[in-house]
Chains A and B, each alone.
Chain A
Amino acid sequence: MRLKINGAVRQFPGDLMLPALLEKLQLPAARVAVERNRTLVHRDKYSSVRLEDDDELEIVQLVGGG
């Protein structure tokens, strides 16, 4: 499956749910926020999100800033 994550295309074998993707990417779900195809995915909905080919994801975190 082909996913665009934070602007870069990556390939993943087989079906993938969002929590499994975060785990593969070693991202703690509690510390990130996810947007799928320009729409926010609420944290409590992660487990019901089955990713699809060509999905575009933005995965962000809070960083230092002014």
Chain B
Amino acid sequence: MNVSPLKIAGREYRSRLIVGTGKYASFEQTQQAIERSGAEMVTVAVRRVKLGGPPEESLLTYIDPKKYVLLPNTAGCYTADDAVRTARLAREAGLSSLIKLEVIGDEKTLFPDTHALLEATRTLVKEGFTVLPYTNEDLVVAKRLRDAGAAAIMPLGAPIGSGLGIQNRNALRILIEQIPDLPIIVDAGVGTASDAAMAMELGADGILMNTGIAGARDPLKMAEAMKHAVASGRLAYEAGRIPRKLYATASSPLDGTIE
């Protein structure tokens, strides 16, 4: 399939699917799922090393940073300051300036604190980071993030890990139409393949997901399903769907029927 590439900060990705590496049963399963998804960019988190026990196995033994572009996140940060510190640590640990910036504002919904997000975006852009902010579907916030130098806008489709699918299609369409100069990457909420295809059909530039794959009964099959859904949705978007009509239009010739 010839899907046009996704461009983020000057780099092209053949796959428009970005996958997380959390919640898998094992590192082996993580590796296999990512392979099946076809993703070229994968998210990782930054956490304290555990001290006192035997040396821990590293995720990076399974996810080769030479093969995949690592996108560290600031998940779990509730202030701009913590997110900025985490981003700096991530850059040092991963040797890349990409950061999926999350500043969470509410524990129950994991909705973003967009005020703190904007503040952290400004700081990190000044420090040379390529900032991909996890935000809501608010156009005004997205415009402010763009003006602050964000490299993409990553609106949630539904709460993180909820699997509810795209809850606000019209807001997503507005973002896509009104922010044509930045990739709009749906981040969170995808539950199954049709959710991903639908977001792509609306014109999203990409989708980032974790739980939708890792939480499936068979994560490897779901990884492949998502790969096809994202590519199919994009192809359909590029192909241009037919207009919706209330009444039928025959597909077969109207004349020449037997009498």
| Contact between B90 and A33, CB atoms less than 8 A apart | yes
**A47 at interface (Cβ–Cβ under 8 A)?**
no
Q: How many residues of B contact A (CB 8 A)?
A: 38
Question: CB-CB contacts of B166-187 with A at 8 A, as 1s and 0s?
Answer: 0000000000000000000000
Q: Is the interface of A mostly helix, strand, loop or mixed?
A: strand
Cβ B23 vs Cβ A8 within 8 A: no
Q: Are A62 and B45 in contact (CB under 8 A)?
A: yes
CA distance A65 to B20 in the complex (A): 6
Residue total for A at the interface (Cβ-Cβ under 8 A): 26
Q: Can you name 7 extra interface pairs (CB under 8 A) apart from A60-B46, A66-B43?
A: A25-B49, A35-B89, A40-B85, A64-B59, A65-B20, A65-B47, A66-B21
Can you list 29 A-B pairs with a CB-CB distance of less than 8 A? A5-B51, A8-B51, A25-B51, A31-B58, A31-B60, A32-B93, A33-B89, A33-B90, A33-B93, A60-B46, A60-B89, A60-B93, A62-B46, A62-B70, A62-B90, A63-B45, A64-B20, A64-B21, A64-B22, A64-B23, A64-B27, A64-B30, A65-B20, A65-B73, A65-B75, A65-B210, A66-B73, A66-B188, A66-B210
